[in-house]
């Protein structure tokens, strides 16, 4: 009997020892907060100038911040926030920042409770046992939470800046009551002040807001434009020095990552992912350098990964349609018409107790698959033989098949006898 420890160490050790690429790959993760944010100085200065009055114990204007994902909104605000707290403790004023991600904290109750909790934690060391967290995670009526929050704020004094990240999610899920109450809270406070920073990547969310809330929330608006390719190069270069060992990246790698990500909305997060995955690929095949080839592989990997993800979340019916197309493909057809697909579909649907959708519906689902980029379609006219829509895959069909069969309701199709089906179809309608 071999010692289990030995084998497992042996299993992993070889992957740990050849470390020729990364110095610290955490630097490339989304959660990493760099000290310097290239090309965001104007926005940072802007936020700072708006928040500055809080150091004189005056209420700063509320701010709304817009920008696509990966444009540095959150990072910039966090940076300004931490600088502000530093400055305030140096100057002896009370000035606190609470950062909430509304994708996670998405109800009025939880927002209020979370704010209260954050203030509490901050005061904790000063007045340790007196102000303990009063508000339970659930159970109180909302107005009581609101009142309790006011008490805590007034007790603490100073200025509180509330950052509502992904504020559009909050509005979509639970309406604008929360925002209404928060913007109004200043008039109920005697001893302290509140200012709100809303961060959104959806410009249209304003439409859901009460005009009064909107006007008070957007006293100041700041837009974070997407990065262009040269700017992304700067960002990647900065991170790469921390993340990679010297000389681990080939010449054109960073510009390539930047260019690919710039095409795709100038998303810095995407660019960093690309660089990190390129690095991981290089690491895995024991290269000593990340090459442009690795970047291309990484790009392909990200693409298929997101497609796999997309397919996995498709409704069962769409998956069955995909499976029908896969079946046709196994019968060495590369291009299928909507008629063929729906005939195959209608034949296998009953065998797994799925109700049969009409042809009309199937055409809609097929166009949907086309929109998602899982398949390609094209309308063709074959003269006397009618007008139809042709479709084909251009991705790895084995991967797709694998994912489709993971659906528990399609499990029975795993060992479908293609030959038998083909023979049957040939007899009835094929060609």
Partner DNA sequence: AATCCACAGGAAGATTAGGATA
Partner DNA sequence: TATCCTAATCTTCCTGTGGATT
Summarize as ranges the residues that interact with DNA (CB under 7 A).
315, 317, 337-340, 355-361, 363-367, 379, 381-389
386 vs 412, beta carbon nearer DNA: 386
State residue 94 phi and psi, 5-degree precision: -100, 115
CB of 425 to DNA, least distance (A): 13
74 vs 324, beta carbon nearer DNA: 324
CB of 368 to DNA, least distance (A): 9
290 vs 410, beta carbon nearer DNA: 410
Sheet holding 63-67, edge to edge: 95-101, 158-165, 192-200, 63-67, 220-224
50 vs 341, beta carbon nearer DNA: 341
CB of 385 to DNA, least distance (A): 5
Q: Is 277 exposed, middle or buried (0-12, 13-18, 19+ CB in 10 A)?
A: buried
CB of 320 to DNA, least distance (A): 11
23 vs 172, beta carbon nearer DNA: 172
CB of 331 to DNA, least distance (A): 16
274 vs 365, beta carbon nearer DNA: 365
CB of 421 to DNA, least distance (A): 18
């Amino acid at each position: 009997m071999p010692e289990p420890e030995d084998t497992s160490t042996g299993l992993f050790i070889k992957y740990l020892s050849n470390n020729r690429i990364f110095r610290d790959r955490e630097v490339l993760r989304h959660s990493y907060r760099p000290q310097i944010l290239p090309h965001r100085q104007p926005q940072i200065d802007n936020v700072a100038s708006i928040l500055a009055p809080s150091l004189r114990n005056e209420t700063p204007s509320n701010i709304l911040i817009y920008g696509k994902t990966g444009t540095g909104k959150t990072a910039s605000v966090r940076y300004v926030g931490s600088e502000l707290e530093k400055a305030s403790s140096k100057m002896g004023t009370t000035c606190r920042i609470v950062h909430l991600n509304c994708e996670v904290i998405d109800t009025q109750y939880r927002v209020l409770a979370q704010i209260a909790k954050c203030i509490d934690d901050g005061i904790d060391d000063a007045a340790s046992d007196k102000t303990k967290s009063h508000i339970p995670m659930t159970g109180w009526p909302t107005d009581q939470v609101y009142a309790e929050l006011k008490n805590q704020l007034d007790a603490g004094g100073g200025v509180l800046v509330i950052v509502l990240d992904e504020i559009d999610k909050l509005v979509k899920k639970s309406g604008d009551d929360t925002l209404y109450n928060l913007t109004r809270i200043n008039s109920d406070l005697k001893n302290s002040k509140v200012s709100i920073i809303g961060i959104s990547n959806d410009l249209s969310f304003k439409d859901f807001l009460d005009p009064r809330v909107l006007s008070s929330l957007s006293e100041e608006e700041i837009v974070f434009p997407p990065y262009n390719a040269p700017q992304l190069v700067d960002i990647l270069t900065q991170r790469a020095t921390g993340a990679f060992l010297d000389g681990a990246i080939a010449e054109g790698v960073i510009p390539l990552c930047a260019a690919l990500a710039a095409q795709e909305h100038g998303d810095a997060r995407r660019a960093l992912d690309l660089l990190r995955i390129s690095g991981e690929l290089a690491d895995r095949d024991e290269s000593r350098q990340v090459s442009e080839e690795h970047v291309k592989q990484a790009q392909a990997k990200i693409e298929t990964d997101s497609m796999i993800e997309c397919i996995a979340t498709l409704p069962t019916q769409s998956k069955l349609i995909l499976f029908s197309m896969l079946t046709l493909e196994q019968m060495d057809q590369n291009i299928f018409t909507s008629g063929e697909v729906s005939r195959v579909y209608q034949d296998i649907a009953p065998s797994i107790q799925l109700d049969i959708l009409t042809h009309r519906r199937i055409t809609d689902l097929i166009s949907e698959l086309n929109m998602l980029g899982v398949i390609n379609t094209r309308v063709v006219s074959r003269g006397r033989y009618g007008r139809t829509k042709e479709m084909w895959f251009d991705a790895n069909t084995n991967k797709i098949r694998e994912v489709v069969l993971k659906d528990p309701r399609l499990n029975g199709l795993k060992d479908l006898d293609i030959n038998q089906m083909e023979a049957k179809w040939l007899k009835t309608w094929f060609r």
